[in-house]
Chain A
Amino acid sequence: MSEKQLLKGNIAIAKAALNCGCSCYFGYPITPQTEIGEFLSLEMQERNLAYVCAESEIGAINMALGAASTGAKVMTSSSSCAVSLMQEALSYACSDELPIVLVNVMRAGPGQGYIFPSQGDYNQSTIGGGNGDYKIIVLSPSNVQECIELTYKAFYLAQKYRNPVILLADGLLGQMAEPAKLFDNPYPNIDNTSWILNGSNGRKSRSIHSLEPSQLKLNQHIFNLHKKYQAIEQNEVDYEEYLCDDADIIITSFGSLARHSKAVCNHYREKGIKMGLFRPKTLYPFPYKRLNELSKKTKLFIDIEMNLGQMLRDVRLSILSNAQVSFIGKPVGDWLKKEELINAIDNIAKEQYASI
């Protein structure tokens, strides 16, 4: 394991991708993730790997699909409004069962928005804008060390399930730097020799396509995909729980904003109020089951996001009518600060309990 370095989130993602054998990168520059492509443009050339600055985001992700069909470990990266352009290809990648890694370093929307950080693409990532019954694994890092860990995991899960994986970071995390260790990729390589298109010399030819004119076969294909998604939901749910066991109030929060939420928990704990934090690390598959269990013994949930309530929907679906759910959010820009959150929570709590 190497020593700690002061690493930007974007650079950490790029370095981790190289470390776990990413051999093709296709991208088109957009703030706040341009350093990923910039860094890789130098490093990949030196290592004789494929780096292409595509003509557009649509070009980039379709190149990624093509390269993935040959068995290469591929990545593309972009941000919010440009990830919108990739939705069609993501639907194809799910149907074609192509393992690609897409990094979305979120910026402000809707539309063009601006380069301010945001968490506004929760819905775009977890629900998606493409057509048909498909699911994409979505991983959400909250610090630079996790940018490295979850990049490794993204490549692994993409190969394991032959499915796209989105690493959903945000502009603040992409641009900020903090000490992190670049450790070796802990995941095994997945054998892909049964399906890749690497030349049919000596074997029966194969093809990868989503077009299927047989109703029977298309239904079967989608049922098979669905079974795979069920396995993902069974096996891959990941989350962080902080002081939730005895909590009367649990904050739900994801990504780098969850760190501010954790600071808020510490503030209330010091005052003797039992507050905890629940942070999903996989946004799909969402930890519905665990959150539902927690809702049976917790009075109040407060969902905090840098958007106007996107994960809130999944939180409510987990908690049902077991507990009260409140929401604090802001669409874009400077992260909701500890003091702002405490003010907002004091107001919520006043309505709920006279004691706070």
Chain B
Amino acid sequence: MNKSFIISGSGGQGVISIGQILANIFMLSNKFVSFCPCYGAEMRGGAVNCEINTSDSELLCLQNEKVDFVIALNQASFDKFLSKVKENGTIIVNSSLAKINKTRNDIKYIFAPITQEAIKLGNIKMTNSIALGILSKLIGELSIDNIKKAYERILKNKTELIQKNIEAYLFGFNSI
């Protein structure tokens, strides 16, 4: 399985965090994986994205022309990364912060009001984990044990936060 992902949004939405969690999930599944943040003079509210690549053999392409999956958590990242989706690829769009608009017919669109769902779950900061849950459903073949372990690696010993994020993740996973 070779798969590539771009996760994008604004600073503070947890783009880098779920990118790291996704990369950890692949590592724990004994895959080769690379996580490349688009780094810069970024700050809360600025544009943030990261690219994750995974492979069964030596990971060679760290940056790709086009990727299999894009998560766009706001309008600006939807506009910017729509063209980066491969033919027959998928884009997951946070329709709470981006207009529903399908301009390509060679890709799959998933629009979900992720921010509103996170607020309903009681914490807007869970937006990223809901998005990761949706993505995981589409990828398939990820074990829940590894997902829990990956959250533990990133959130260390914040037990309550890990629990809440996994709940949000499962909510996203079961929402589509």
Interface size on A, residues (CB 8 A): 24
Complex interface: chain A residues within 8 A of B40 (CB): 115
CB of B37 within 8 A of CB of A175, answer yes
The complex places the Cα of A316 from the Cα of B167 at a distance, in Å, of 59
Per the 8 Å Cβ criterion, residues 25-47 of B in contact with A are 27, 32-37, 39-41
A263 and B153 within 8 A (CB): no
Q: Provide the residues of chain B in CB contact with A266, threshold 8 Å.
A: 60
* B63 at interface, CB cutoff 8 A: yes
**Which residues on the A side are within 8 Å of B60 (C-beta)?**
259-260, 262-263, 266, 338
Among A115, A179, A256, A338, find the residue whose CB has the most chain B CB atoms closer than 10 A: A179
A176 engages B61 (CB within 8 Å):
no
Interface residues of A in 127-180 (CB under 8 A from B): 171-172, 175-179
A4 to B36 CA separation, bound complex (whole angstroms)? 18
In the bound complex, do residue A337 and residue B61 qualify as a contact, i.e. CB atoms below 8 Å apart?
yes
B10 within 8 A of A: no
- Chain B residues with Cβ under 8 A from A338's Cβ? 60-61, 64-65
Residues of B within 8 A of A262 (CB): 58, 60
Asked if B32 and A172 sit within 8 Å, CB to CB, the answer is no
- Could you tell me if B23 and A6 are in contact, using CB atoms closer than 8 angstroms? yes
The tally of CB-CB contacts under 8 A between chains A and B is 66
Name the distance in Å between B100's Cβ and chain A's nearest Cβ. Answer: 30
Instruction: Decide yes or no whether B62 CB sits under 8 A from chain A.
Output: yes
A31 at the interface (CB under 8 A from B): yes
Contact present for B63 and A335 (CB under 8 Å): yes
Nearest CB in chain B to that of A336: its residue = B63
Q: Which of A256, A259, A337 contacts B65 (CB 8 A)?
A: A337
A245-266 vs B, CB cutoff 8 Å, 1 = contact: the mask equals 0000000000010011011001
Inside 8 A of B176's CB, which chain A residues have their CB? Answer: none
**Residue in B27, B32, B58 with the greatest tally of chain A CB atoms within 10 Å:** B27
Q: Is the CB of B61 within 8 A of A340?
A: no
Contact of A179 (CB < 8 Å), options: B32, B41, B61, B65: B32
**Nearest Cβ distance between residue B118 and chain A, in whole angstroms?**
25
Establish whether residues A32 and B39, one from each chain, have CB atoms under 8 Å apart when the complex forms: yes
Shortest beta-carbon distance from A245 to chain B in Å: 19
Q: Contacts A178-B34, A179-B32 given: A256-B62 contact, CB under 8 Å?
A: yes
Complex formed: what's the CA distance from A6 to B37 in Å? 13
B62 contacts A340, C-beta separation under 8 Å: no
Task: Tell me if A178 and B59 are in contact (CB < 8 A).
Answer: yes
Q: Could you tell me the distance between the alpha carbons of A179 and B24 in the complex, rounded to whole angstroms?
A: 8
Give the most central of A4, A32, A177, A338: most B CB within 10 Å. A177
Q: Contacts A115-B40, A115-B41; is A177 near B61 (CB within 8 Å)?
A: no
Q: Do A177 and B20 touch across chains, with their CB atoms under 8 A apart?
A: yes
The 3 closest A-B pairs by CB, nearest first: A263-B60, A177-B35, A176-B36
Chosen A-B contacts, 10 in total, with CB atoms closer than 8 Å, are: A6-B23, A6-B24, A171-B39, A172-B63, A176-B34, A176-B35, A177-B35, A260-B63, A337-B64, A340-B65
